[in-house]
Structure 1
Amino acid sequence: MHPLLIAFLAGVGFVVAYHTYGRWLGGKIFKLSANAVCPSRRLADGNDYVETPKSVVFGHHFASIAGTGPIVGPAVAIIWGWVPALLWVIFGSIFIGAVHDFGALVVSLRNNGQTVGDIAGRVLNRRVRVLFLCILFLALMIVLAIFGLVIASVFRMFPSAIVPCVIQIPIAVAIGAWLNRHGKSLLLPSLVALGVMYVTVIYGDVGFLHALNAAMADWSLLQWVVLLLGYSYVASVLPVWTLLQPRDYINSLQLISVLALLVLGVLAATFVGGGAEAAAAGAGFEMVAPAFNLSPAGAPAMFPFLFITIACGAISGFHCLVSSGTSSKQLKQEPDARMVGYGAMLTEGFLATLVILACGAGVGLGLTEAGGEVFTGAAAWSHHYAQWSSGLGPALGAFVGGSANFLEALGIPAAVAVALMGVFVASFAGTTLDTACRLQRYIVQELANAVVPKPAEGAGGVDWLGALRGKHGATIFAVVTAVVMAAIPPAGAEWTWANAGRGGLILWPIFGATNQLLGGLSFLVIAFYLWRRSVPVWFLIVPMILMLVLPAWAMTLNAFVGEASWWAQGNWLLVGVAVITMGLEAWMVVEAVQLFPRVKGVVEAGALDAAGNAVDPAR
């Protein structure tokens, strides 16, 4: 199938799904009402709860959930063939991922903007709440520890991306101040911000700036991790409108504009041809990746590992934290939830589709390696995907190189095209990092309240966890634990400045399965919320089962099966975490199965109505 036809059919499919299935979910299942009072108004505090236009919330939400997930996952998973990867992205986004994000957002909107983990304590029971929050804390700690490494690695591969990414911060602060002070249309300042960003991409690596980029690219990984997590601390304690929200909004504009450029690049490559390398080699524009490659060298079985390798591009448990942790605190009215929750996930699915096209067809237009050798056609794909153990670097290089070829087809110079895609990847890793830090703060605060309730006023005694209930104490705890984990050298390696910063890799192999498992547990909470209100849940059953079974299956294979398993290699830390995680999952599922038949139509204690008033469970 031609790449242009794939892009067209995928785009049409996502648009149709939004206006049909998404509309049905919003109207018939969640019954979104413009008259409902959202937490952003009822609990407005100017810091976390801030009424915000839906376009800005969409930007924040989209940039936060996108990150590098929909890029890295499809870029790696195409090793099994472009057809399985594409089918999982399209159908997973429409029927699983978007439903998950939408449901988590609505449930949180109707529970004072609380996280799904906190809500689990009421719709299921208190034990489940603590179990869920522990899983969330572990998952977010890994994200915080690893994404500093991801961003540092991108900066080392593409130093020209450093200055443009840094300049985004003052641009974001200016946009936030403009919106907060004037409350006017964001169109003009947004266009100006986008223009400035692209100017920095074009001229951000010349003269003095080139030397600055090169010097910063040589910083140690630990230096980068500490600097980036320090920035994340600042971003997460400032009012959301100051930095986090506008930076994500600007990045969403960048993402949408890059998506448009990539689509135009696909058109140009189809009708005009590729860049200079493609013309010199006579390379045509077609899918050079195999449609199916069921036994790639060194790779695990496609089923179930495809479904945890492509996470954010189809479904990701991390998204429930964004939906219920930040976005639900900013929406002005309930109907906006469909665009933010369902629409953003479909847009991410389209991004993942373009990643598949870049890695499966764009690379065929020509890639030049460091030694000067040029690969085109199927040879270019095979060079990057020779075997599974090649890892993240070649896959990421295939995406950046293939996407840059699309941009070159539009006449954009090769150096600018590579810089633009490097900024694109690093920017979205950064938005995931600062959003994850804010989310971890909420989780730490909720865990502190769940483990040791705050002493009643006037009751006396010492509040031993008082520091963790405040935003600064909780955020510092989140940052310090991530830095400590990152500073640990990889398993079996000595502590050196070269190794420090790679500690997140210790638990990274288990993150994919844990992340998808989190999606299944989030579905469990959404299902119980609806079931208690006698709302049909049949459309959640298959996605929930898939996201509970497939990750557990993959985790079991990784931990115990084969010579390369963690058990066989004596990696007891990963084995222990896997056993604990699967034990927590089994415990939660058993609790849910026992409770499910008894709670249909029984509204949980602490439930709120559309006006924010407590609902009497007896009624």
Structure 2
Amino acid sequence: MQSVTIVLLGLVGMLLGWLFYSKFIAEKIFGMDDRFITPAHELEDGVDYVPTNKVVLWGHHFTSVAGAAPIVGPAIAVYWGWVPAVLWVVLGTIFFAGVHDMGALWASARNKGKSMGALSESVIGKRTRSLFMVVVFLVLLMVNAVFGVVIANSFVSQPQAVFPAWAAIVVALIIGQLLKRKVPLIPLCLVGVGVLYYSIAVGSDMPLALPTEMFGLTDKANWIIILFIYAAIASLLPVWMLLQPRDFINGMQLLVGLVLLYGAVFVSMPDITAPAFNTQTAVDTPSIIPLLFVTIACGAVSGFHGIVSSGTSSKQLDKETDGRFVGYLGAVGEGCLALITLVAVSGVMLAASPEEWHEVYSHLGAGSVNAFITGGANLIQSGWGLSVEISSTLLAVMVVLFAGTTMDSGVRLQRYIIQEWGEIYQVSALRNGIIATLLAVGCCLLLAFGAGGSSGSGGMIIWPLFGSTNQILASLTLLVISVMLIKAGRPAIYTLIPMSFVLVMAFFAGVIKLGEYYQQGNWLLVGLDLIVLVVSVLVMLEAWSVIVKHKASEAAAKQD
């Protein structure tokens, strides 16, 4: 089958979801209203609560939730075959991710910008809040620790990506100042993206690298430390100064990248060499059900998105109706990235024949980001004539910048959670932004170097838990939204169905992984997996109790 057919079907499906389904959910289910005063206006402080143009906020939200995950997950899951992967990406985007992300934005904005963890207290109960925030903190810890490793590895293996990655920060700081002075957005966008792509060309000719050993640590370990120092500083700056402009420029860069990749598909029309359903999997390959649904998280549905929606994006929402544009369209953008990733790792641009494709994908986990960069660079070269070297640098920078923006937002969100704990437990020190940031970064570095030694890769030890933990968090977020809808007397079926499906798949995957960790004798993962599974069950029981009581009180009120 030609890849253009897959692309057309996927894009048309997501476009219809945006035009019709998202409009129905926003207006008829969530009841989004321009007259509602959002937290960005009610609590405006110039640092975290800042009313923001919806296009700029979309850029922040999109690049914060995207990271490298919508590339990594699909590039691994294609091992089971491109058909199940494409179906989960497209249907997941339309009926799961868009509703989840937009719903989390709506729920948080309706409650003074509270995070989903803090919000769960008022919606379900005090015990739920504590349980919920444990899962949220674990997900953030995994994301930040591992993305630091991902970026450091990319800097070491792709030194040509170093200059443009740091140049993007300088460009963002300048644009942030100009936007504050009311300079028009469109010219800034064009100039910013132009400078960014010029820096990519410079980086291709000027690779930068740290010494292989410095201060007794490897170059990768030193990059991890530098990245967390940067993330700590960035998380304390006002969102308008760096976070918003950097994410917006990265969002525009991704749009350019998507245009190049999708355009190349329509120009060269490459064939698919990957199997529709892979019948030649290795003996030890786990079952596609439920593992597919936790391997592809971002790009279909992801609990991390709920953290971003309720952590930073809801505090910048100018009008409540902007939540549809920012939340649902952000999910569509990520679905588009996941879809083109599947095409890049499934076609002749990666492997000229089915036999060569099976050599690249010899086992689950093979291919991944390198397959995307290789396949995508060849695709761009065939469609647009750009050299493979420039195309590879462009895609490598895309991965690094997305991972970096996710890491920026992730550390800021960890700070929010620690400060919320300070409020909840009346610990004044934890409410201090600098102390909370140092604790957040300290936890990440402790995991990175405490569990991983001098390599700094300790986050990779608990990363296998991310898939199931992240999807369980998505189901818990949908549960909170559903309870809000039930209490408001609105239909909750549109959130309860995706919540139930994701919960069953994620819980099942967590149980399977628990058995694997036990057999391996990996007691750290056994303990953490058990905590996540038990917490999810307790939250569900608490929510069910609230729903039953609410229904009973409604019935009693009708009888009276």
Deviations 1:337-371, CA, capped at 9 Å, x for gaps:
1010111101111111000000001xx235xxxxx
**1:22 lines up with 2:7 in the alignment:** no
User: What SS does the aligned partner of 1:534 have?
Assistant: coil
**1:521 lines up with 2:483 in the alignment:** no
Q: Does the aligned pair in 1 maintain the 2:422–2:429 contact within 8 Å?
A: no
The code of the aligned residue for 1:449 comes to E
From 386, 389, 409, the equivalent of 1:412 is 386
Q: 2:371 maps to what in 1?
A: 398
1:252-263 equivalences under 5 Å are 252-263=251-262
Q: Higher mean Cα deviation, 163-172 or 588-597?
A: 588-597
Q: 1:544 maps to what in 2?
A: 499
The code of the aligned residue for 1:376 comes to A
Cα gap change, 1:398/1:541 in structure 2, threshold over 3 Å: closer, same or farther?
A: same
Give, in whole Å, the separation in 1 of the partners of 2:374 and 2:210: 21
Cα gap change, 1:227/1:602 in structure 2, threshold over 3 Å: closer, same or farther?
A: farther
Q: Give the superposition deviation at 1:185.
A: 2.1
User: What SS does the aligned partner of 1:204 have?
Assistant: helix
What's the C-alpha RMSD, in Å, of the aligned pairs? 1.7
Give, in whole Å, the separation in 1 of the partners of 2:403 and 2:213: 16
**1:131 lines up with 2:131 in the alignment:** yes
1:334-413 equivalences under 5 Å are 334-361=320-347, 364-365=348-349, 376-388=352-364, 391=365, 394-409=367-382, 410-413=384-387
1:210-609 equivalences under 5 Å are 210=207, 212-213=208-209, 215=211, 219-270=218-269, 285-294=270-279, 296-297=281-282, 298-361=284-347, 364-365=348-349, 376-388=352-364, 391=365, 394-409=367-382, 410-450=384-424, 452=425, 454=426, 465-490=427-452, 495=453, 497=454, 500-560=455-515, 565-600=516-551
Q: Give the superposition deviation at 1:268.
A: 2.0
Cα gap change, 1:478/1:558 in structure 2, threshold over 3 Å: closer, same or farther?
A: same
Cα gap change, 1:261/1:131 in structure 2, threshold over 3 Å: closer, same or farther?
A: same
Q: Give the superposition deviation at 1:448.
A: 2.6
Q: 1:179 maps to what in 2?
A: 179
Q: Give the superposition deviation at 1:215.
A: 4.9
Cα gap change, 1:324/1:387 in structure 2, threshold over 3 Å: closer, same or farther?
A: same
Give, in whole Å, the separation in 2 of the partners of 1:217 and 1:552: 43
Give, in whole Å, the separation in 2 of the partners of 1:216 and 1:61: 35
Q: Give the superposition deviation at 1:105.
A: 0.3
Cα gap change, 1:602/1:116 in structure 2, threshold over 3 Å: closer, same or farther?
A: farther
Q: Give the superposition deviation at 1:383.
A: 2.2
Cα gap change, 1:316/1:533 in structure 2, threshold over 3 Å: closer, same or farther?
A: same
Q: Give the superposition deviation at 1:472.
A: 1.1
Q: Does the aligned pair in 2 maintain the 1:156–1:217 contact within 8 Å?
A: no
Give, in whole Å, the separation in 2 of the partners of 1:600 and 1:59: 40
User: What SS does the aligned partner of 1:468 have?
Assistant: helix
User: What SS does the aligned partner of 1:599 have?
Assistant: helix
Q: 1:616 maps to what in 2?
A: none
The code of the aligned residue for 1:304 comes to P
Q: Does the aligned pair in 2 maintain the 1:384–1:395 contact within 8 Å?
A: no
Q: Does the aligned pair in 2 maintain the 1:533–1:601 contact within 8 Å?
A: no
Gaps of 5+ in 1: 271-284, 367-374, 455-464, 604-619
Q: Does the aligned pair in 2 maintain the 1:144–1:433 contact within 8 Å?
A: yes
User: What SS does the aligned partner of 2:517 have?
Assistant: coil
Give, in whole Å, the separation in 2 of the partners of 1:383 and 1:7: 25
Q: Does the aligned pair in 2 maintain the 1:487–1:503 contact within 8 Å?
A: yes
User: What SS does the aligned partner of 1:507 have?
Assistant: helix
User: What SS does the aligned partner of 1:404 have?
Assistant: helix
Cα gap change, 1:294/1:437 in structure 2, threshold over 3 Å: closer, same or farther?
A: farther
Q: Does the aligned pair in 2 maintain the 1:133–1:447 contact within 8 Å?
A: no
Q: 1:204 maps to what in 2?
A: 203
Q: Give the superposition deviation at 1:489.
A: 4.1
Q: Give the superposition deviation at 1:602.
A: 8.1
**1:54 lines up with 2:54 in the alignment:** yes
Give, in whole Å, the separation in 1 of the partners of 2:75 and 2:158: 18
Q: Does the aligned pair in 2 maintain the 1:52–1:332 contact within 8 Å?
A: yes
Give, in whole Å, the separation in 1 of the partners of 2:379 and 2:105: 35
Gaps of 5+ in 2: 555-560
Cα gap change, 1:507/1:602 in structure 2, threshold over 3 Å: closer, same or farther?
A: farther
Q: 1:65 maps to what in 2?
A: 65
Give, in whole Å, the separation in 1 of the partners of 2:4 and 2:76: 21
Q: Give the superposition deviation at 1:384.
A: 1.7
Give, in whole Å, the separation in 2 of the partners of 1:413 and 1:579: 49
The code of the aligned residue for 1:247 comes to R
Q: Does the aligned pair in 2 maintain the 1:532–1:601 contact within 8 Å?
A: no
Cα gap change, 1:383/1:157 in structure 2, threshold over 3 Å: closer, same or farther?
A: farther
Cα gap change, 1:254/1:525 in structure 2, threshold over 3 Å: closer, same or farther?
A: same
Q: 1:279 maps to what in 2?
A: none
Q: Does the aligned pair in 2 maintain the 1:148–1:229 contact within 8 Å?
A: yes
Task: Provide runs of 4+ in structure 1 moved above 6 Å.
Answer: none
Deviations 1:300-323, CA, capped at 9 Å, x for gaps:
110000000000010000000110
The code of the aligned residue for 1:55 comes to V
Give, in whole Å, the separation in 1 of the partners of 2:459 and 2:170: 29
Deviations 1:62-100, CA, capped at 9 Å, x for gaps:
000111110000000000000000000000111011110
Q: Give the superposition deviation at 1:447.
A: 2.1
Deviations 1:363-402, CA, capped at 9 Å, x for gaps:
x235xxxxxxxx63324422220112xx36x321110011
User: What SS does the aligned partner of 2:518 have?
Assistant: coil
Give, in whole Å, the separation in 1 of the partners of 2:551 and 2:280: 46
The code of the aligned residue for 1:240 comes to V
Give, in whole Å, the separation in 2 of the partners of 1:336 and 1:295: 46
Cα gap change, 1:313/1:269 in structure 2, threshold over 3 Å: closer, same or farther?
A: same
The code of the aligned residue for 2:126 comes to R
Q: Does the aligned pair in 2 maintain the 1:121–1:128 contact within 8 Å?
A: yes
Cα gap change, 1:318/1:294 in structure 2, threshold over 3 Å: closer, same or farther?
A: farther
The code of the aligned residue for 1:355 comes to T
Q: Does the aligned pair in 2 maintain the 1:385–1:395 contact within 8 Å?
A: no
Q: Does the aligned pair in 1 maintain the 2:308–2:413 contact within 8 Å?
A: yes
Q: 1:110 maps to what in 2?
A: 110
Give, in whole Å, the separation in 2 of the partners of 1:399 and 1:173: 30
Give, in whole Å, the separation in 1 of the partners of 2:360 and 2:456: 26
Q: Give the superposition deviation at 1:11.
A: 1.0
Cα gap change, 1:195/1:380 in structure 2, threshold over 3 Å: closer, same or farther?
A: farther
Q: Does the aligned pair in 2 maintain the 1:534–1:600 contact within 8 Å?
A: no
User: What SS does the aligned partner of 1:239 have?
Assistant: coil
Q: Does the aligned pair in 1 maintain the 2:465–2:525 contact within 8 Å?
A: yes
Q: Give the superposition deviation at 1:475.
A: 0.9
Cα gap change, 1:420/1:506 in structure 2, threshold over 3 Å: closer, same or farther?
A: same
Give, in whole Å, the separation in 2 of the partners of 1:321 and 1:176: 24
Give, in whole Å, the separation in 1 of the partners of 2:66 and 2:297: 10
Give, in whole Å, the separation in 1 of the partners of 2:345 and 2:110: 41
Q: Give the superposition deviation at 1:294.
A: 5.0
